[in-house]
Structure 1
């Protein structure tokens, strides 16, 4: 028996498959990790395996922890706990009921020097053995463990999730404090297979406002000296949600004219992003689906109320209505004169106005005969026109022709624009006449000047003077004026010419005072 015990003590602790003679086994987590300055709770049970010896529970049962070597000595400096021994202060205190085979132990105020392998031994009047195959490895660290943050459930708006901050708790008698960004509830300690964990939880009904929210949790471990060792962790929520803040933007902004190209853009905040946009226009029969896509471009021909619906896998978001109003005319009309603007020519005068919305054309009015307007189409472009034929005379030169185009706009009113042209008609000499200087009575030999005037376009470029004689009109001079000394009475006239024709003035008679007929 003595030899057998010596062999057991000399053998080192084995791993799984230990083939050494072994009369004692323990069950405890190994390795175990502890924080320097704190304590370690060691859950432990043992079982005697000897076929020859048996623990006598009627007598005291002593539990002993020692480290480093298998050989145990009562005077060994490696002894860390001897149950029932009040003569010494041991760092390890066996709290379990050894008679009930519980070797649960509290290890106080650990330091880095306590990094080692520990063995458990039982001594009794009828039994003495060391668990040679079941050692306990203790690792001591200076820095605390970072807590763990978990979010249960699906991170989607309206979902109720449980957020848990957990921290390993090697010493449940001195658990860490867990302050965090959420409501500071009461922490609780759980145990799983001898491992303790401190937890704090909160239930949250998720909204889009929680997306991107960073939750930070601190673990503050109390250690000797009244200090705390701290570590923290954080997690950022990623919440999916349906479309929010859906709105419509109009381009161009400001006043709109009939037929103008308008682009409506729909925007919405969503996660995942919006995958479908639908456009609606209010009508007397209800909302009408008018387009699909992020933007809706069209040529506006009448005002109306529009809105968009943004959709993703989590729902829809509807924008407020946006009202489009036509408040401006698309342009000014134009006036064209066909043919040459020369007297006697028959020309066609046309007033035209662009008509982007042929079902709501502009009304054309002018100072000429108010005929019937008609709409023409060329390559998809519509134009409203009104025409009149005129035989030109010199009276039309300088005539101002104004045409108005009244376009229907929102509110049942019209927006009017106008355009004006002035006719430029060429014509032959008109109102040709002669003026005598000096006027009044004339005497023989007196100097006389005749001046010829005429209205023409282009201006008269040639004047010819004639005097009636018995042989007919005699050409007596050229030029705008004709000066001579009057020696005999006579009848004179001038002829004005330009590129479009000639005209003769009325005859003027020059008489000499005192000369008998």
Structure 2
């Protein structure tokens, strides 16, 4: 025969089952749906409960109720080993304790040294005689693993070039006594702040917030948040990688022309505009600079034109929702238009240099001849020389004399002879000596003029012949 106590317990279970079938709960427990736990660490189950109105008269609030945790199934009648923890017992299958104030209906519980065998569903039971009830509708699932779950990165607001932004990294802290430590890896300088916070389901997590100013160069760069969990004397790590999506106006905008070398009039050339932007460029516009004026000539990333005689400079603009970027200027060179001008300038320069060289050579030769002639005409013949200065023709001073035509009489040119020093009265012997002295002096005169001859003088036929032989052209 069953004990009265056991009979009472079976009746309570039966009544609880019947009420549950009709949607009525004897106990309302509040706890998270699931918890991720590390092997060897602890797990804290946030918990609270409430007594339905129909059972409040049987719940004695002056007596501290006991909290019971049942594994796998709320119905433990046939499996009493399913009860793994009872706060009223000193020895339990699971090492743990209720940290909440049960008199205030706080049933928060901590289990220590968790192993993989702890992975299962758990139900709460409250015992406060004569009140005994289990919430069969609510359970918490504990998942135990050797590796921690990855942290979660979230972004507050748009990540835009040049605008400060905040990134949040959150990692669960199933064992609040040993929370994880969060660290960041970013492609730029930053400041971070960590704090332990309570979630909406009363679980705990560590939140790390980092603030930095992104650049368009950081677009599609990886950032990493790493969580380090202390477990015993070692650490376990988990990380989350995320690629930055930075919004920016068009950058590195450039224009190119193909073919790049001078082209013939009437041929086709293709201009292409390239740019980097996020979101992508929505509009490309082409402009021509000619005669100091800028004109919009086309739209589109590529622009094909038939070459006329205009040529000129071209550039493009790329635009998206964040702004625009201007490219470099490219020259459209036309064959046969620029080259003659360049050739003419080069030929004119060469001709000017050649002309200057010829003039310089002519002046140098003229000065040299003049200087040579002056040296010959200005050379002293003696202070007492009666012979006057003989003028020379610089242009023909060194040229070979032309033979006079046979049918033309030879032109006679006379030099100047100074006889002022001769005395009027002299003896025949002195006169003879004087004439011989003049012959020797005239023999030294170099007459360079064409056909230059001394006039025939009385008794000076020998002197005339001597002068004509020495200085003839």
Q: TM-score range by the shorter chain?
A: 0.5 to 0.7
8 Å Cα contact 1:186/1:200 also seen in 2: yes
Mapped to 1, the partners of 2:324 and 2:219 lie a distance apart of 18
8 Å Cα contact 2:317/2:326 also seen in 1: yes
Pair 214,11 (structure 1): closer, same or farther in 2 beyond 3 Å: farther
Deviations 1:352-377 (A, max 9, x none): xxxxxxxxxxxxxxxxxxxxxxxxxx
Pair 130,242 (structure 1): closer, same or farther in 2 beyond 3 Å: same
- Give 2:229's aligned residue: 221
Computed over aligned residues only, the root mean square deviation of the Cα atoms, in angstroms, reads: 4.2
| Residue of structure 1 aligned with 2:174, choices 170, 176, 181 | 170
Pair 303,178 (structure 1): closer, same or farther in 2 beyond 3 Å: same
SS at match of 1:34: strand
| Residue of structure 2 aligned with 1:305, choices 313, 328, 333 | 313
| Residue of structure 2 aligned with 1:409, choices 337, 341, 345 | 341
Mapped to 2, the partners of 1:278 and 1:77 lie a distance apart of 75
- Give 1:269's aligned residue: 276
Give the alignment of 1:219-298 within 5 angstroms. Answer: 219-223=227-231, 225-254=232-261, 262-283=269-290, 286-293=293-300, 294-298=302-306
Counting strand residues as a fraction of each chain, which structure ranks higher?
1
- Give 2:48's aligned residue: 45
| Residue of structure 1 aligned with 2:29, choices 12, 26, 39 | 26
Give the alignment of 1:382-461 within 5 angstroms. Answer: 409=341
Mapped to 2, the partners of 1:16 and 1:415 lie a distance apart of 114
| Residue of structure 2 aligned with 1:65, choices 57, 66, 69 | 69
Mapped to 2, the partners of 1:60 and 1:80 lie a distance apart of 16
8 Å Cα contact 1:13/1:132 also seen in 2: no
> 2:82 matched to 1:82?
no
TM-score, normalised with respect to structure 1: 0.54
8 Å Cα contact 1:180/1:218 also seen in 2: yes
Pair 270,411 (structure 1): closer, same or farther in 2 beyond 3 Å: farther
By how many angstroms is 1:29 displaced? 2.4
8 Å Cα contact 2:220/2:243 also seen in 1: yes
SS at match of 2:246: coil
Mapped to 2, the partners of 1:52 and 1:141 lie a distance apart of 40
- Give 1:35's aligned residue: 38
| Residue of structure 1 aligned with 2:100, choices 88, 96, 100 | 96
By how many angstroms is 1:180 displaced? 2.9
SS at match of 2:192: coil
Mapped to 2, the partners of 1:80 and 1:221 lie a distance apart of 27
Pair 116,19 (structure 1): closer, same or farther in 2 beyond 3 Å: farther
Counting helix residues as a fraction of each chain, which structure ranks higher?
2
> 2:157 matched to 1:153?
yes
- Give 1:321's aligned residue: 329
> 2:14 matched to 1:6?
no
8 Å Cα contact 2:100/2:108 also seen in 1: yes
8 Å Cα contact 1:8/1:132 also seen in 2: no
By how many angstroms is 1:88 displaced? 7.6
SS at match of 2:176: coil
Pair 412,262 (structure 1): closer, same or farther in 2 beyond 3 Å: farther
SS at match of 1:409: helix
Structure 2 segments unaligned to the other structure (5+ residues): 349-473
8 Å Cα contact 1:161/1:203 also seen in 2: yes
Mapped to 2, the partners of 1:221 and 1:258 lie a distance apart of 74
- Give 1:212's aligned residue: 220
By how many angstroms is 1:94 displaced? 0.7
- Give 1:421's aligned residue: none
By how many angstroms is 1:93 displaced? 1.1
- Give 2:113's aligned residue: 109
By how many angstroms is 1:199 displaced? 2.3
| Residue of structure 1 aligned with 2:199, choices 191, 205, 225 | 191
SS at match of 2:60: coil
